[in-house]
Each structure stands twice: as C-alpha cells, then as structure tokens.
Amino acid sequence: MKRIYVNLKRFDIPRELGGVNTLAPVREWGRRIVEDVRDGVNAYDSSDVKFTVFFPEAHLIPALDAMDSSDSLKAGCQSVFRDDVETGRNFGAFTSNRTAKSMAALGVKEVIIGHCEERNDKKGMLLEAGVTDPAAVNRILNSEVKAAVNSGLSVLYCIGETKEEKEDWKKVLKEQIDIGLMGVDRKDVVIAYEPVWAIGPGKTPPGRDYIQMVAGYIKEVSGGLPVVYGGGLKAENARMLSSIPEVDGGLIALTRFSGDIGFYPEEYLEIVRIYMEGENN
C-alpha cells in the first residue's frame, strides 16, 4: 500500500495576519480542504493507497464533519500529549495539552509525531532546563507514540538528521527508531524520513540514490516498517519518489513555494496524480 500524507501546519492563518491562507475563511478552512480533495482521492482504490491530512486542532471537527466513513481521505492531528486519562487515576487534568484519547473521541484516526519542528521545539525547551542528553527528545516522543497507539491511533513517526548529524546519520536514525519506538506495538506505525539538513529555502534536496539508501536502511533497522519521504513530496519529485521501491509514499506540506505561497487543493491533487501515474509506470 502507498501512503500520501499532508501536514497543514499553521497554514490556516490569513495573509493579513502574516500567514498563507487565501483558500477560505478560517472557520471554513478545514471543511473546504476536505470538500475540494475528497472526490479526487476517492477515485483511487483505497486498498492501494491511503490518504491522510494532519490538521491544526481547531479544524478537525469541521474536517471530520465534511467526511463520509467510506472516504479514502482520513483526518489526523499534529502530535499528542505524552500522558492521558486513566480510569480511577486521572480524569483529564491536562490543561493546554492535546491527549490521544481526546483525539480518538473526536473521530481522529491518525497522528503525526516527531516532526522536525516538534523535535526542535522539545530540544530547545530541554536545553533551557540544562538537559543536553540527545536521547531525551526520543524518550519524550516514545511516550507520545505509546499514548497514541494505546488510544487506537495510527502513527506517522518522523525521523531525520540535521546538518551537524549528517556524518553519523545511521547512528542518529537508528537511535531515533530504537528509543522512539521502544516497547511500541509497531503494526500501525509508519516512518517518515526527513532530511532536515536539506529542508528550507536555498537547500539542495537529496537525490534518488541517497533517498533509496536511507529508506532501505530504515526498513532494515525498523523491522520492515513502511517508509515515506518526509522531505516534501512535490510535483517536481513525485515521479522520482514513486520509482523508488523502498519508499512507500510521501509527506506534502505546501503545494506552492513561490508567488502566492500556500496550500492549494487542485495542486495537491496534481501531485497525487503524478505520483500515482509514476507508480503505475
């Protein structure tokens, strides 16, 4: 099965407030995205390809309301808290934190955990507290993954090496997998590989051979988990990525990176089309 994910980050913020949303008023944004892409992705056999959109939390309810249970498109949330309610112990004293069970109660089926932006945020907070142990972030993410899996959520677990870590990429990725997925039932876990050193304006993305090498290594050390490319599935690289046997899909963010920067449903569907046509050739 192929897997195509979208991480919408905070693309709901309108341009007049410094964001990139011109798609719809904020209150209608989640629903509009679902309505504009649903028919396009439902055209694919759901046994062959899985589509998930990770929404900022405020947009999950309208997005879910716009879906039908038979849709190929699913809604996911952007990480979860490392603890959760437990009968007779804690009934929900988690002010400001999004728990996995609260997301499951909404009808959310999937979650993205360990995105490089989340990792960087946690690393920064730990450094403020004087914690320099590089494994600390992975241990926290492990708690998040366990909370998600225990609540019945499927997990897209992101790993990747920074510029400073590139020389030791094998060690870094193996630790992120070994610690982050320690004690986890992995049957509903997919790994997204983010070459953090190559993400951002002016950076040179890795080529086909590098991606294939890394994806093969991840499968080897993870016990054969599905691997998607998290460095940005785009129209420009969709055909190339679909040709790599070790890569099982990709993670999309923005669809337009210049001019009127933003996420546009019609461009998302074009990326999907190119990827799937490449897969079938």
Cα distances (Å, whole numbers) of residue 200 to 66, 148, 197, 253: 33, 29, 8, 12
If one counts every other C-beta atom within 10 angstroms of the C-beta of residue 165, the result is: 15
Question: Which CATH superfamily hosts domain 2-280?
Answer: Aldolase class I (3.20.20.70)
- Phi-psi category of residue 187: left, alpha or beta, with phi > 0 → left and psi -120 to 50 → alpha: alpha
Per-residue pLDDT reduced to its tens digit, 242-259 = 999 999 999 999 999 989
Catalytic-labelled residue, pool 59, 110, 115, 118: 115
For residue 194, indicate whether it is catalytic.
yes
Per-residue pLDDT reduced to its tens digit, 29-79 = 999 999 999 999 999 988 899 999 999 999 999 999 999 888 899 999 999
Q: Which residue has the tokens 């997919």?
A: 190
pLDDT band, residue 261 (cuts 50/70/90): very high
pLDDT above 70 covers a percentage of the chain that reads 99
What are the residues whose beta carbons fall under 8 Å from the beta carbon of 84, sequence distance 6 or more? 90, 94, 99, 100, 101, 147, 150, 151
pLDDT band, residue 281 (cuts 50/70/90): low
- Which residue, among 117, 44, 39, 20, has the nearest Cα to 78 in the 3D structure? 117
- Which tokens in the block code for residue 84? 């959760």
Check whether 280 has a pLDDT greater than 80: no
Give the bridge partners for 227, in sequence order.
191
Range of weakest confidence among 14-18, 220-224, 276-280: 276-280
Does the model's pTM come out above 0.85? yes
Catalytic-labelled residue, pool 110, 118, 144, 194: 194
If one counts every other C-beta atom within 10 angstroms of the C-beta of residue 186, the result is: 17
For residue 59, indicate whether it is catalytic.
no
- The structural domains of the chain, with segments of one domain joined by +, span 2-280
Per-residue pLDDT reduced to its tens digit, 127-185 = 999 999 989 999 999 999 999 999 999 999 999 999 999 999 999 999 999 999 999 99
Q: Which residue has the tokens 């016990």?
A: 223
Quick one: average pLDDT of 230-239? Answer: 96
